[in-house]
Amino acid sequence: MRKRDQTRIFFILTSAFLAFVWFMVVREPAFRDGGRLIPFTVTMAVHAYLHTTIGRWSGRIKAPVYLAAQTVLAVAVVVLGDGSMMTASLFFPLAGEVFGLFAEVLPRLLGMGALMAAWATTQLATAGWGIVRTQLPGAVLALAFVGIYVTLFTRQLRERERAEHLLAELEQVNGKLRAYALKVEELTITQERQRMARELHDTLAQGLAGLIMQLEAVDDLLARGDAERARAVTARAMGRARTTLQESRTAIQALRTPLERGDVMEAVRRLIDALAADTGITCTLEAGPGALDLPAQSIDTVYRVVQEALVNVAKHSQARRAWVRVAAETEGEVRLEVGDDGVGFDPGALQAGHFGLTGLRERVGLVGGRIAVESAPGQGTRILATLPAPGAGPAALPDKEA
């Protein structure tokens, strides 16, 4: 609709011009005879109607057909009008339409040449060579002026339409961006909640679970009258409480520095030592050089996987032996395994509210890794995590027993 509104001025001006030409010609006494008035009026009407349908004639075949038909009608009007100046001016609107119908230079030149030939022929036939020679320069300039004006105006309209089209696309893109921003915000909030849930589980929940086990051990030792061992366990419980408090503060402030490659193995050994001291479960650590060629976030993931797995061993496994293995694979991956020889469980029968394994899956997934839990009643448990490590190669696995 907007395009039609922009070009309507051409139709209005052309219709007004044709009406003016008809009025100026038929007011002559020679046209009061119906024998000339009716053919002249019908030809002018058909010529005017075709001007209003120019939008349907675009194309390599339709455009020349339209121009040829309109040229023939213009010649007929000039002949019926005895070659008057008013009828000869009908070729001027056609010159503008030539530049509107044809985009290439050669068709435009051929169209303008055809119009000039038709104009000259009609003038020569009705007025003689003297009139043609006198009016030819003015006619050429007039036709060229109309064509150039229409070209510039059409180009301006096309640029405006293109700008409006781009503006509409920009508004659509902005709408999509706003919707995307809202979705990203929702996902960010959800991920932040999940991250906080993991951090709280890995700090407060893990620390409190360890404290409960140590306090239960103190209660049992006091009941048996072993005050000396009870004091030792109490001292470890106090140390765990301080550690939990520090980790909780660090997690809440979101300022915890990722573990370095050299620090993570020491941190894992401390977890193993704590497991052995608190439960008496024998645990081994197997790792080789290059086994932790990982990004900082993946290094932290290794520590959290081992931490969660060993807490589960202490709380649920009733195991006598456990192990932690870290090995660099030939496929550019690091494989982490934490297992025990305890009572095992059915992984498909976990109850709601147990967030440890869910948190581990989320952590491993965030760094592009994979995790699997293998267990069955009476057959122990193995947690297997595979983390991407570009450049990692096979490594020997020296044993360290806690």
Farthest CA pair distance, the chain: 140
Are the C-beta atoms of 359 and 197 separated by less than 8 Å? yes
Other C-beta atoms closer than 10 Å to the C-beta of 73 total 20
- What are the tens digits of pLDDT across the range 367-392? 888 999 999 899 999 999 998 876 54
State which H helix or E strand residue 201 sits in. Answer: none
Domains in the chain, CATH or no CATH each: 2-127 (no CATH), 258-402 (3.30.565.10)
| CA distance linking residue 277 with residue 279, whole number of Å | 6
What's the mean pLDDT in 253-260? Answer: 48
Are the C-beta atoms of 336 and 326 separated by less than 8 Å? yes
Q: Output 266 or 99, whichever has higher pLDDT.
A: 266
Nearest to 107 by CA among 78, 79, 68: 68
> Burial letters for 56-68: b for 16+ Cβ neighbours within 10 Å, e otherwise?
ebeeeeebbebbe
**Does 322 have pLDDT greater than 70?**
yes
Q: Output 364 or 28, whichever has higher pLDDT.
A: 364
**Does 95 have pLDDT greater than 80?**
no
**Does 115 have pLDDT greater than 60?**
yes
Strand intervals (E) in 246-345: 282-287, 321-328, 333-340
- Mean pLDDT of the residues in the chain: 76
pLDDT attached to residue 402: 44
What's the mean pLDDT in 231-236? Answer: 84
DSSP character string of 113-156: HHHHHHHHHHHHHHT-HHHHHHHHHHHHHHHHHHHHHHHHHHHH
Q: Band of the pLDDT at 99, cuts 50, 70, 90?
A: confident
pLDDT attached to residue 237: 80
| CA distance linking residue 354 with residue 316, whole number of Å | 13
Q: Which of 142-151, 220-229, 349-358 has the lowest mean pLDDT?
A: 349-358
Nearest to 97 by CA among 61, 41, 58: 58
